[in-house]
Amino acid sequence: MGITFEHAARLAPAASADQASRDETASSATAATSRRSLLKGGAALTLSFALPLTAGRALAQAADTAAPSNTFAPNAWLRITPDGKVTVVCGSAEMGQGVLTAIPMMVAEELDADWAQVSVEQAPADTAYNNPMFGMQATGGSTTVRAHWTPVRQAGAAARQMLVAAAAKQWQLDAASLRTERGQVLAPDGRKLGYGALVAEAARQPVPDKPALKDRKDFRIMGKPTRRLDSAAKINGTAKFGIDAKVDGMLVAVMARAPIAGAKPKAFDEGKAKAVKGVRKVIAIPSGVAVLADGYWAAKQGRDALGIEWDLGEHANLSSDKVSSTLEDGLQHATAIAREEGNVKDGAATSARRISAQYEVPYLAHACMEPLNCLAWVRGDEVTLWAGTQSQGPAQGILSQVAQVTPAKVKVNTLLLGGGFGRRFAPDFTIDATLLSKLSGSPVKLIYAREDDMAAGYYRPASRVRFEAGLDDKGQPRMLRAEVASPSIMAASGFMKIPDNGVDAMAVEGLADHPYTIPNQRIAYGRAEPGPQVWFWRSVGHSQNAFFIESFVDELAHAAKADPLKYRLALLDQQPRARGVLALAAEKAGWSRPAPKGRFRGLAVAESFGTYVAEVAEVSVGKDGAIKVHKVTAAVDCGQTVNPQTIARQIEGAVVYGLTAALYGRITFKDGKVEQSNFHDYPVLRMNEMPKVDVHIVQSDAAPGGIGEPGTPPIAPAVANAIFAATGKRLRQLPFDTEALKKA
Q: What is the 3-class SS of 436-470, one letter each residue?
A: HHHHHCCCEEEECCHHHHHHCCCEECCEEEEEEEE
* Phi, psi for residue 79 in degrees, rounded to 5: -150, 150
Average of per-residue pLDDT across 385-389: 97
Q: What was the pLDDT predicted at 89?
A: 98
C-alpha span between 295 and 382 (Å, rounded): 25
Structure confidence by residue, pLDDT tens digits, 213-262: 999 999 999 999 999 999 999 999 999 999 999 999 999 999 999 988 88
Average of per-residue pLDDT across 394-422: 96
C-beta separation of 543 from 712 below 8 A = yes
Structure confidence by residue, pLDDT tens digits, 206-223: 999 999 999 999 999 999
C-alpha span between 130 and 234 (Å, rounded): 26
C-beta separation of 450 from 682 below 8 A = no
C-beta separation of 677 from 331 below 8 A = no
pTM, 2 dp = 0.92
Instruction: Spell out where 353-501 has E strands.
Output: 353-361, 373-379, 382-387, 410-414, 444-447, 463-471, 477-486
Instruction: Identify any residues that bridge with 121 across adjacent strands, giving them in sequence order.
Output: 89
Asked if residue 56 has pLDDT above 70, the reply is no
Question: Half-sphere exposure (CA, 13 Å, Cβ side) for 741?
Answer: 24
| DSSP letter assigned to residue 213 | P
> In b/e form, how buried is each residue of 491-523, taking b as 16+ CB within 10 angstroms?
ebbeebebeeebbbbbbbbbbbebbbebbbbbb
User: What burial class does residue 341 get, using C-beta atoms within 10 Å of its C-beta: 0-12 exposed, 13-18 middle, 19+ buried?
Assistant: middle
The percentage of residues in the chain with a pLDDT greater than 90, rounded to a whole number, is 89
Q: What was the pLDDT predicted at 261?
A: 82
| Residue among 393, 500, 566 at smallest CA distance from 13 | 566
C-alpha span between 487 and 533 (Å, rounded): 9
Which residues have a Cβ under 8 Å from the Cβ of 641 and sit 6 or more positions away?
222, 223, 647, 697, 704
Q: What was the pLDDT predicted at 43?
A: 46
| Residue among 156, 147, 176 at smallest CA distance from 74 | 156
Instruction: Identify any residues that bridge with 522 across adjacent strands, giving them in sequence order.
Output: 340, 481
Q: Which amino acid is at 92?
A: S
Which residues have a Cβ under 8 Å from the Cβ of 699 and sit 6 or more positions away?
5, 6, 7, 8
Higher pLDDT, 8 or 269: 269
Structure confidence by residue, pLDDT tens digits, 77-131: 999 999 999 999 999 999 999 999 999 999 999 999 999 999 999 999 999 999 9
For residue 742, give the 3-state DSSP assignment: helix
C-alpha span between 722 and 716 (Å, rounded): 10
User: What burial class does residue 27 get, using C-beta atoms within 10 Å of its C-beta: 0-12 exposed, 13-18 middle, 19+ buried?
Assistant: exposed
Q: Which helix (H) or strand (E) holds 678?
A: none
C-alpha span between 336 and 356 (Å, rounded): 20
Q: What was the pLDDT predicted at 278?
A: 98
C-alpha span between 176 and 109 (Å, rounded): 19
User: What burial class does residue 402 get, using C-beta atoms within 10 Å of its C-beta: 0-12 exposed, 13-18 middle, 19+ buried?
Assistant: buried
For residue 297, give the 3-state DSSP assignment: helix
* Phi, psi for residue 237 in degrees, rounded to 5: 85, 5
The 10 Å Cβ neighbour count of residue 235 is 9
Average of per-residue pLDDT across 414-436: 97
Q: Which helix (H) or strand (E) holds 73?
A: strand 72-75
C-beta separation of 124 from 65 below 8 A = yes
C-beta separation of 86 from 108 below 8 A = yes
Min mean pLDDT across 59-63, 343-347, 668-672 is at 59-63
For residue 322, give the 3-state DSSP assignment: helix
C-alpha span between 372 and 142 (Å, rounded): 21
Instruction: Identify any residues that bridge with 383 across adjacent strands, giving them in sequence order.
Output: 378, 410
Which residues have a Cβ under 8 Å from the Cβ of 54 and sit 6 or more positions away?
135, 136, 397
Which residues have a Cβ under 8 Å from the Cβ of 535 and sit 6 or more positions away?
422, 423, 425, 426, 457, 458, 459, 460, 489, 492, 493
Q: What was the pLDDT predicted at 38?
A: 55
Preceding omega of 735 cis (within 30 degrees of 0): yes
Q: What was the pLDDT predicted at 34?
A: 52
* Phi, psi for residue 674 in degrees, rounded to 5: -75, 140
Task: Calculate the average pLDDT of the chain.
Answer: 91
Structural domains of the chain sorted by starting position, each given as residue range(s) with its CATH number in brackets: 17-30+242-312+366-455 (3.30.365.10), 62-123+141-219 (3.30.365.10), 320-364+459-742 (3.30.365.10)
